[in-house]
Every structure is written in structure tokens, then in C-alpha cells.
Structure 1
Amino acid sequence: MPLGTVAIVLVAAIAHAAWNLASTYKRGSTLLFVGAYTSVSALLCLPLAVVATATGAQPLTGQLAGASVVSAVLHAAYSLTLQTGYDRAELGVVYPVARGTGPLLTMVVAVLVLAERPSWLALAGALAVVAGIVVVTGNPTRNRGPHPLRGVLWGAATGATIAAYTLWDAYAIGRLGLAPISYYTGTLLAQSLILAPGLVRALPRGRGLSRARGELVAAVRLDRVPILVVAVLSPLAYVLVLTALQTAPVALVAPLREASIVIGSLLAWRFLGEGDLARRVVGAVVVLVGIVAIGV
């Protein structure tokens, strides 16, 4: 993989880790938070997509709309599966299993089904990145309640949805030739529509429209800082990933972008007071070795 592409994915990983850290400061409703930052992200990206259309870089086509809708459905399936897993099992089990199985499944499908042929050294590097993620997260089932297997299963299901949207987005960008910013703007707009019914149901009942609107505005205002941070960094991170997919195989981009877990883990140690620094550093070194192998 070209070193410039590696750098793009690593910048995306930093942005991804930063917005995940910002999201931990959310104080209000999860549904309102997700709906708010998704809608704001769509509004921020829309002018860039309009410019792409006006300049002819990405005309509005049925192919663009259809691919964006499919991507939005897959991303929504990921969010719903992940949230259900968090509701029914330990976060500390679901999250690391999901982020580890996602790139692993993506690599397998990309090599066996999409006939991508990265070098053995690059594949070894990708596996090293996954191994480093496992080291950073530790044993997810240790001291995690009476039903750790349930969390593993939900994590694996979430990982499957990660692989699904990653592979589809790679196809849309690499094979269909869609412009990353226009494609992801369409995805965000479609996701906002998918989330809209849930947001309506979240409004307080029987208190009058004006009061319900006021409570909604108050809830969004409560988390305005993390909403803005996530709304900016989340699309930035993923548009950079989509840009990398234009020139690099998804079998390598998928595990490389998960370096965000290592970065996020170190940020959690620094800002959230989480322990096990030595294990986190060892995992980071393993990931770094994998990144070097992918770059070579």
C-alpha cells in the first residue's frame, strides 16, 4: 500500500478515536445524540456534495442514490445491532469482539470473494494489526458477568455488519467510481431519514407540540459540544477511509483503520483514568509493526 494512503488511513483513525472519546461526554438521550450529530454531519457535508455536482465531479444519478441508501441501511443495521448488544451484554465484551471480527471478516471476504491479492507481507501486517487490537483490549470475557458468551455472539454479529458496510462501501467507491464526499453525504441524508421515526417517538407525549419541541432543543443543547465534535470528526474520518479505498485494497484498509482502537485506548488511559498502560503500549507496538508491514 502506498505510504500516502497509509497516512490517510492513520489520520482517519486518529479522527475516529477523537470523536469516540468526545462521545463519552454525552449526557442526554443516546437516540437524540446519534440523530443530532448525523443530521449536523449531513448538513456540513451537503455544500461539498453540491460543489461536486456543480463541477461535474459527481453528477446526481440513480446509481449514487441507490448505493447511498444501501450503505445507510447497512450502517443503521450496524448501529442497531451494536446498541442491542450493549443492552443485552457487557460493553467490554461486545465492543472489542466487534472491532476485531469486523476487519478479519472483511479480509477473508475480500481475498476469497473479491479476489483481492495483497502480498503475503501485507496480509501478515493486517493480521498483526488485528492481533495488536486483541492485546490492547485484553481478554473480553474476563470478569465480565455470568454470560460472556452472549457478549461474544453479539460482538461477532456486530462485526459481521461492520464487514458488510465496509465491503459495500469499498464496492461503491472502487468499482462504481462514486466520489467519496457525495456518496457519504447521500448515506448521511438517508440515515437521517431512517432515524427520523425514532426521534419522533422519543418526543414527550401529551405535553403539547411547543413544549415537546422545547424539551428536544434543551436535550440537544445539553450535548451541543460533543455533538459538534462528532459531527465534524466522524464524517472526516470516514471520508478519508473512502478516499483510501479508491487506491488501496479493502483487505488492508479495513484492519488498518482499526488502529483507532489503539489510539482510543491510549486516550482513555490519559483522559478517562483507565488502567493497564503496559498492555496498551505492547498492543500499540504490535499494531505499529503491522502498519509498517502494510506500508512496505
Structure 2
Amino acid sequence: MLTDLVLSVEGTEFAATLALILALCSALAHAVLGTLQKSRYDPWEARGAIDAFVFVMALMAGLFILPWPEPEIIPILFGVWAIHLFYKSLQALAYERGAFTVVYPVARGTAPICTVIFASIAFGEHFEPGQWLGVAMLSGGIMSLSVVNLRGRAVSLQSETMLTALGLALLTGVMIAVYTTYDAWGIRQSADPFTFIAWFFVADGWSFPLIAWLRRRRRAEADRLPLRPLMWRGLAGALIAFVSFGCVMLATRLDKVGEAVALRETSVIFAALLGWLVLREPLGPARAGLMALIALGAAMVELAS
């Protein structure tokens, strides 16, 4: 039923509207997912717990609910596994070496510009000058959050550890653009987008839990954090990940990849609002100003097309 809906609107004017809604849903889900990863747990373990539940649930859906992927999709899924494993490894290394609130904006701010460039090469997408300005405002606003978040911390941007973390964050941002472009190409090759999404999660979800388990085993018993809270966090993260990644992949099938990604990266606005409204975290004039810049940039990407 959902497959028929997606296929029926492809190529219509409503496709762009649906893609916009899906991208914003992905942004909200991504903000919640990012908050879950801001935890006392090792970033490898936190991601491994999420992926373990993602793998099991996607495998059940793939085996018992959805059709098997077409034979020509199998090699694409191997590419999914390799690209996403590299991306998540870079991300975990960056989180190990730098504060989440400093590293995360650099990675997410790098992604939109790189994705627009990659999508123009892969799909022949064309951005108007006003859209390029919007992307620059969006990316600049997101990356500037790292400077604002660094204030009051004991570490400076010039420290060796922070420079390493920022370098890894930049590479992570490039890999976000790589996997977004590759996934958009992959889902467009499949007759059933939901079959691709399910087997995408199967291909992507099995390796990181194994890495996390091996890392946990090497630790002394006293250094291991409780497993039960980690599992609950993993279950919640998995459910949110289906929405976050699934919605943006559907959006990139229905409309321009660059526009979908620009809207998805407004997740930092949702994250800041959630922190302010729910966790009572201070927003401040500098952060509020950057939120406005990011929102204006995203609006320009949509309206200047």
C-alpha cells in the first residue's frame, strides 16, 4: 500500500511536497537520534546497540513481510555496507576525541555542500545561485555552532586532540555526502523502495554490533557500563533510525537529493529546541541567531529553485 503510494506520486508535482514533508520528518527524528547518542556510553557501544535492533527488525521485515531484493540490488547492498561502516567508524573516532556538541556541527555542516556537489555529478542536479547561497548559509550556520559550543570549555581549537577530532569530523561530513548520494542512487534502482530500505538496514546493521561487542569484551569488568540501559537506548534509537534514514531515502527518490539533504540538516534546529523546551538547556542569543540563519538558508534552498 505504501509502495503503491510512493510509486503513484513519482514524477508528479505532489512528489516535491511529499519529499519536503519526509525530509522534515527525517530532520526531527535525526535530532532525537543525535540526542540519544550524547550519552555516557562509548560511541561504538551506543551505535552498536542501535544497529543490533535495526538489524533484527529489518531482517524480520525483509524475510516475512516484504519481497526479496532484486538480484541486481545485491551488489549495491554490499556497497551500502562498506560505505556506512567507514562513515560510522569515522564518526565514532571523532566522538572519542572531541566533545559531541563541537564535533557534530562540523560533520553535519560539511555534508550539505558536499552532497549538492556530488548530486550534481551523479544525477545532473542543478542549483540556482540563490540555492547555493542558501546552502552556504545553512552549512555556515551549522558549523558556527561548534565555535559557540566550544566557549567555556577548557580545550581550544588549536589543541592537538581537538584538531584531530575536527579533521575526523570533516571527513565524516564528506562520508555523509557520499552515503547520501550512493543511497539515493541505490533506492532509485529498486522497483520497491521499501524492500530496498529494509535490506539496506540489514546490510548496514550487522557489523557495528560485532565491533562494539569485541571492544566491550576487551575492557575490564569494572569499566563496563550497565548493559540494560544501553539496550533500551538501542531499541529507542533503532525505531527512530528507521524514520530518520527511511524518510530521507524516500525523499531523495522523489525529489532532488541536494534539497532533501538541506532540509534534513535543519535537525540541528529541532535538537536545540528540544534541548531548550524539554531539557531546559540555555539557548542564548548567539545560538538563536545561528538557528535563524540555518532556517533562512534551508528556506532559500527550497524557495529559490
Fold equivalence (TM over 0.5): yes
Deviations 1:249-271 (A, max 9, x none): 11222222111112112323344
Deviations 1:105-159 (A, max 9, x none): 1112222454211333333333332233234444576653323433332221111
| Partner residue in 1 for 2:190 | 177
8 Å CA contact 1:32, 1:220 repeated in 2: no
Letter of the 1:232 counterpart: L
Displacement of 1:178: 5.3
- Greater alpha carbon shift after TM alignment, 249-258 vs 231-240: 249-258
| Partner residue in 2 for 1:201 | 214
SS of structure 1 residue aligned to 2:254: coil
Distance 2:213 2:37 in 1: 22
Query: What stretches of structure 2 of length at least 5 have no aligned partner?
Result: 1-14
Q: Residues 125 and 19 (structure 1 numbering): CA distance in 2 closer, same or farther, change over 3 Å?
A: same
8 Å CA contact 2:23, 2:260 repeated in 1: yes
Is 1:111 aligned to 2:120, yes or no? Answer: yes
Distance 2:292 2:40 in 1: 34
Is 1:247 aligned to 2:254, yes or no? Answer: yes
Is 1:74 aligned to 2:70, yes or no? Answer: no
Aligned partner (choices 229, 233, 238) of residue 240 of structure 2: 233
| Partner residue in 1 for 2:133 | 124
Distance 1:150 1:167 in 2: 26
Q: How does 1:130-145 map to 2 (within 5 A)?
A: 130-139=139-148, 144-145=155-156
Q: Residues 138 and 2 (structure 1 numbering): CA distance in 2 closer, same or farther, change over 3 Å?
A: farther
Displacement of 1:286: 2.1
Q: How does 1:1-296 map to 2 (within 5 A)?
A: 2-24=16-38, 26-49=39-62, 50-53=64-67, 59-112=68-121, 114-139=123-148, 144-145=155-156, 146-147=159-160, 148-174=162-188, 176-177=189-190, 179-202=192-215, 204=217, 219-296=226-303
- TM normalised by structure 1 equals 0.81
Letter of the 1:222 counterpart: P
Letter of the 2:211 counterpart: G
Query: What stretches of structure 1 of length at least 5 have no aligned partner?
Result: 54-58
Letter of the 1:86 counterpart: Y
Q: Residues 92 and 165 (structure 1 numbering): CA distance in 2 closer, same or farther, change over 3 Å?
A: same
Letter of the 1:81 counterpart: L
Letter of the 2:234 counterpart: I
What do you get for the CA RMSD once the two structures are aligned? 3.1
Distance 1:151 1:178 in 2: 40
Distance 2:86 2:291 in 1: 30
Deviations 1:72-105 (A, max 9, x none): 2211111111121233344444222111112211
Deviations 1:210-237 (A, max 9, x none): xx9xxx9x94422343222211011111
8 Å CA contact 2:23, 2:261 repeated in 1: no
SS of structure 2 residue aligned to 1:52: coil
SS of structure 2 residue aligned to 1:116: coil
Letter of the 1:151 counterpart: A
8 Å CA contact 1:100, 1:130 repeated in 2: yes
8 Å CA contact 2:108, 2:143 repeated in 1: no
Distance 2:147 2:278 in 1: 19
- TM normalised by structure 2 equals 0.79
Distance 1:80 1:127 in 2: 27
Letter of the 1:5 counterpart: A
Letter of the 2:203 counterpart: A
Displacement of 1:190: 2.5
How many equivalent pairs are there?
A: 282
